[in-house]
Amino acid sequence: MTTFVLVHGAWHGAWCWEKLTPLLEARGHRAVTLDLPGSGADRTPLAQVTLESCAERVRAAIAAQPEPVVLVGHSMGGVVITAAAERIPERVRTLVYLTAFLVAPGEPLVAAAGNDPDTELAGNLVFSPDGLSVEVKPDAVRSAFYAQCSDSDAEGARARLVPQAAAVFSTPVPYTPERAGRIPRVYIECTRDRAIGIGVQRRMATARPCAKVLSLDTDHSPFYSTPDALAAQLASL
């Protein structure tokens, strides 16, 4: 049995794993989900949400498990799991980046996201007047996140999106070769992703070599579009 700790990306919450969790459990594994601060059902004021507070939330979830975990981060969750693993590397068996940001030490997410000709988020992000949060224009949500998902899944997900604290995007990710850097990494690329283009995904996975690179022929949200295939890939680890 493997314990998977699943960390959602920007604008989402623990709810996004609702189809994947029972599939992992049916294979005899445990799946732990959580809302990052200010996301999902968590009501932390966005002015108080930082990369550090997100990493601490994940660290606490890892520490509560009876065994070392496989830590999975989706999209923005990639920088969160890296920062969390730096805090508790002895309790993380594998880091899994699910079409996620895998950055260099000291690099912020926004640096890795640059020069992406395939993203549909460019020009479709709206910052709050105080600059503390960012949202995606409603007309861009389906094509960027849920292009291969069913209408019901896409609409259900879109209804639950919340503003994202912008600080998580711009904070350099602190990690070292001796701690988070020594944990085996797996990258799961999504070839039809229009939020993080496949070119950027492959550039990150090449620059920070991974023990395995797996592929899903789907959009940014395989937990809805191809949950069975995603569960099979995770279980294979």
Whole-angstrom distance, CA of residue 54 vs CA of residue 37:
6
193 pLDDT band, cuts 50/70/90, is: very high
CA angle 166, 113, 182 (to 5 degrees): 95
Third-level CATH fold of 3-236: Rossmann fold (3.40.50)
181 pLDDT band, cuts 50/70/90, is: very high
Whether 75 sits among the annotated catalytic residues: the reply is yes
List the catalytic residue out of 8, 74, 75, 219.
Answer: 75
Rounded to the nearest integer, the mean pLDDT of the chain is: 97
Mean pLDDT of all residues in 161-188:
97
Provide the percentage of residues in the chain whose pLDDT is more than 70. 100
pLDDT tens column, 26-70: 999 999 999 999 999 999 999 999 999 999 999 999 999 999 999
List the catalytic residue out of 193, 219, 221, 225.
Answer: 193
pLDDT at 154 over 90: yes
Mean pLDDT of all residues in 161-175:
97
pLDDT at 190 over 90: yes
Whole-angstrom distance, CA of residue 124 vs CA of residue 25:
37
pLDDT at 115 over 90: no
Write the burial class of residue 143 (CB in 10 Å: 0-12 exposed, 13-18 middle, 19+ buried).
Answer: middle
Whether 42 sits among the annotated catalytic residues: the reply is no
Whole-angstrom distance, CA of residue 114 vs CA of residue 97:
18
How high is the pLDDT of residue 101?
98
Domain ranges of the chain: 3-236
How high is the pLDDT of residue 227?
98
Instruction: Read off φ and ψ for residue 36, nearest 5 degrees.
Output: -70, 160
Nearest to 9 by CA among 86, 113, 92, 105: 113
Record the tokens describing residue 165, joined without a space. 């604290």
**pTM attached to this predicted model:** 0.98
Whether 221 sits among the annotated catalytic residues: the reply is no
Whole-angstrom distance, CA of residue 105 vs CA of residue 70:
21
208 pLDDT band, cuts 50/70/90, is: very high
pLDDT at 114 over 90: no
pLDDT tens column, 69-100: 999 999 999 999 999 999 999 999 999 999 99
DSSP conformation letters of 183-223: S-EEEEEETT-SSS-HHHHHHHHHHS--SEEEEESS-S-HH
52: CB partners within 8 A, 6+ apart: 83, 171
List the catalytic residue out of 8, 12, 220, 221.
Answer: 220
